[in-house]
Structure formats: structure tokens, C-alpha cells
Structure 1
Amino acid sequence: MAARNVVALVGGPDIQIPKGRLDGRVSAMSNVRPNLIDTSFTVDTMIQIFGSKGLSMEDIVILSGAHTIGSAHCSVFDDRFKIDSNGNLTFFDSTLGKDYALSLAKKCSQSASEVVMTDPKTPFYFDNQYYGLILARDFL
């Protein structure tokens, strides 16, 4: 519900959804982690996890677009690059653009708890910039 409300507040669709669970009466913390997608997952792993829930590749692409709003702590993604004391950047993930990775590395070198917007171009708007940023390799 919180995600739905935020999307509506930042200009996205205001979709009415039914409330309440129909699939059970018990919520267990142990069921949460195995059902979350992690930043270290490969596309194949995400396809397998989403597929086990009856979702397609198209669903993955659509759901991923929600990252057009939000933020992430550096500790979530700082294993993708390293900047040494001389300012030299080492890539561990070539999917990031070099300039973007360098700007992230500089910001994250301050603290792993530093926060970065997931969409650096239009972080407070629900739009389709996410997809352009992915193509430009300027997105987490």
C-alpha cells in the first residue's frame, strides 16, 4: 500500500487495489527474505524466481520500472566498484557506465550508509526515465 501511495503522490497512476490477504492468515518473517530479489542476482536467477510465481520476463521489466523512484544505501551496491586513495576506479561490474560508477564511488567513499537516488535524473517523479538510464548504464 505504501508503494502504491508513493507512486500516486509523485505523478504515477492512482490504482485502486483490494486490501487484505486471501492466501493465508499468518505472516512469518522467515517467508520474507527468500521472496525478495537481491542486487547480486543475475537475470537468469530473477527469471527463475519471478517465473516460480507465474510472472513473465515482461512482468520483470514492468516491475523493474518502479525503481524510477526511491533510493539505496551505498552498502547495497558498493561491491560493484572500488575507488582507491589515488582516485583510481576498479570495476567489478561492467554494466555500470564509467563516469556514473566514478560519481557513485566518490559519493560512497564517504560512508556505506550514504544514500543515493536510484534515478539520478528525475528522482522524485514517476516516469519512464529508468529505462533510458539502464540503456545509458547510468543506473543502479
Structure 2
Amino acid sequence: MATAAARCQLLLVAVALAPLLAGVAGVQLSSRFYDRRCPKLQSIVRSAVAQAVATEPRMGASILRLFFHDCFVNGCDASILLDDTASFTGEKNAGPNANSVRGYAVIDAIKTQVEAACSATVSCADIVALAARDSVNLLGGPTWTVQLGRRDALNASQSAANSNLPGPGSSLDTLITMFGNKGLSPRDMTALSGAHTIGQARCTTFRDRIYSDANVNATFAALRQQTCPQTGGDATLAPIDVTTPDTFDTAYFENLASRQGLFHSDQELYNGGSQDVLVRMYRRRASTFFVDFAKAMVRMGNLAPSADTPTEIRLDCKKIN
């Protein structure tokens, strides 16, 4: 049973999202899009995600990352799920995705169950959006109303994936610009960065941070150096949040205040710049972070492919029909 604090947080999220969700109707997404055509959709997705996260808590972070990396490249169109073909090189093997994005098998398994319940009805893009929301909530984070009605792209772009996604070495100015290019504010960017309160990262993505950065806690750097040598061990994993890596909470912001951000891009949010005040607020007030994160996830979920992009409802998320 939810605690009074948890119920309060969910209510705050619902109230804060109400005006935002009302405006989504203009782009023809609706929280009730599948109510008649696939009424069991959300329970199917949540049950499958719950099983995956119970088996491996890290999978929740992986599915959340999958959604982010899909939406930032030509909109939320499930293009990241497509395998390479003779006509295009897909996004799975782009630099930001090849060794950091996973969870494809979970989405495929959900799609199989959804197709059995309501064939040729639900897009892979909508399944990823729902799975991301449930991943966050099942690990202790907020929930929100997912707007539905997306369609799936017929192609993918490795070059766009290589150029549209911010990297672990990004500066604050670069982060603000790249999120701004997607219509997301600096506040959205900082809230969404809080997703790093869950998950793990490969040594190769944070090695420079622990050996070369000036703004890093020396004890923290030494701890990470124990399993991430200066050469070799690129695939060795470390938790992004040093304290509670399997719980969606505010520890990420606490880490930043202690100069224990795992990525250079993380610590840029708390380095004497414009986002310091927001980091301090999220650190103290989980309810504010949860509300802002939910709102930012809805905004990111509204990123759509260009109007002339051909789309369909894929029967298999890995390939076009």
C-alpha cells in the first residue's frame, strides 16, 4: 500500500501535469487512444516490465535510456529498435547506442504479448513510452499519464543518432543547446538528467572523469579507479549513483553536491553554473524533482518525427512490415 508521502507525490505530479496534458490533444495523442482497441495494453506492459525489473533492476534504467535515445533522434518513432537493412544503417550501432543501450529483448517480448491481445494496433513507439514510465515508477519514482497514438518509422538514421545525443563529456552549454534544440528547457534538461539516479555505466564512458577532471571528489575518484584502470577494462560497469543505484530517488543530486557525479556531463550541472540552484532544490525536495521529471518526460514524449515521415504500426519492432 502506498504511503501518505507517496500518495502526495503522485497527486502533485497529476496536478502539475494536467495543463500540459490538455495541450497534447492538439497533436492527436491521447491517454485513452487504445481504451477500446486494446484495453489490456497498459497492464500487459506493466506486468512485463515488473518481471524484467525484478529479474534485473538495472533493466529499468536501460528501458528509460532506450526511450530517451529514441526520442532525441527524429522524434519518438521507435526507429532505434530497427535492425540494419540493405537500404539504411540503423541506430543500434551508433556511437552513443552500441555499448550503452539495451532492453531490446524486453520490448520485443512485450510486443509479442500485445500482438496476441490486439494485433496490428499498438505501435512499438507507444510500448517504449509506457515501458519507460513503468520502469521509473517500479523503481520508486513518480508515475504520469502517457499520451498515446504514436506511429513507427520505416527507417532509421545512424548519423542522426551520432549527432543528436549528448555525450558523457558534454559541457553545460552543450547540454543546454542540445536539449534546447528539442524544445526542452534547461530545467527539463536538469530534471531528465536525474534519470542517472538509476543504472550503470561502462568504464570507457567515465574514465576521463575520474583521472582528469578537476571538479571531482578525490575519494570517489579513487573508488572508481579501483575497477576502472587507465588502460583496459573498458566494459567494466559502475553504478552511476554511488549510493542507491537501483532506486529512483534524489541521491543523484546529493552526489553532484558532493562532486561525485560519475560523468563529466553530470557534474557540469553543479559546477558554479546556472543549474546549481536547481540541483540544490531537487536535492532537498523529492516532490519537486518528481513533478519536474514527469513533466519533462511528457514533453520529451511529445517529440514527433517530421510531418512527411512515412510511418506504420510495426508488427515486429525490429523490422518494417
Task: Verify same fold: TM over 0.5.
Answer: yes
Task: Give the structure with the larger helix fraction.
Answer: 2
Moved more, 7-16 or 61-70: 7-16
Question: Structure 1's 126 and 53: CA in aligned 2 closer, same or farther, altered over 3 A?
Answer: same
| % identical aligned pairs | 36
Question: Which residue matches 2:261?
Answer: 139
User: Which runs of 5 or more structure 1 residues have no equivalent in the other structure?
Assistant: 83-91
**Are the structure 2 counterparts of residues 79 and 135 from structure 1 closer, same or farther at C-alpha, using a change threshold of 3 Å?**
same
1:107 aligns with 2:227: yes
Counterparts of residues 41-52 of structure 1 (less than 5 Å): 41-52=170-181
SS at match of 1:32: helix
Give the distance between the partners of 1:80 and 1:21, measured in 2 at CA: 38
Aligned-partner Cα distance in 2 for 1:21–1:69: 27
2:154 equivalent to 1:26: yes
Q: 1:128 aligns with which of 250, 275, 278?
A: 250
Matched, 1:95 2:215: yes
What are the ranges of 5 or more consecutive residues in structure 2 without an aligned counterpart?
A: 1-127, 263-321
Shift of 1:34: 1.7
**2:199 equivalent to 1:70:** yes
> What residue in structure 2 maps to residue 89 of structure 1?
none
Give the match's secondary structure for 1:95. Answer: coil
Match of 1:35? Answer: 164
Q: Measure how far apart 1:129 and its partner are.
A: 0.9
Q: Offset of 1:54 from its aligned partner?
A: 1.4
More deviation in 106-115 or 70-79?
A: 106-115
Structure 1 or 2: more strand by fraction: 1
Shift of residue 10, structure 1, vs aligned partner: 0.6
Letter in 1 for 2:223: S
SS at structure 2 position matched to 1:72: strand
Tell me the CA shift for residue 6 of structure 1. Answer: 1.7
Cα deviations by residue, 1:13-36 (Å, 9 ceiling, x for unpaired): 2323134536x7334132222221
3-state SS of the aligned residue for 2:226?
A: helix
- The AA in structure 2 aligned to 1:103 is L
Asked if structure 1 preserves the Cα contact closer than 8 Å seen for 2:210 and 2:216, the reply is no
How far off its partner does 1:81 sit?
3.7
TM-score w.r.t. length of structure 1: 0.83
Match status 1:12 vs 2:141 = yes
Residues in 2 aligned to 1:96 and 1:3: alpha-carbon distance in whole angstroms: 31
**TM-aligned CA deviation for residue 116 of structure 1:** 0.3
**Paired positions, count:** 130
SS at match of 1:6: helix
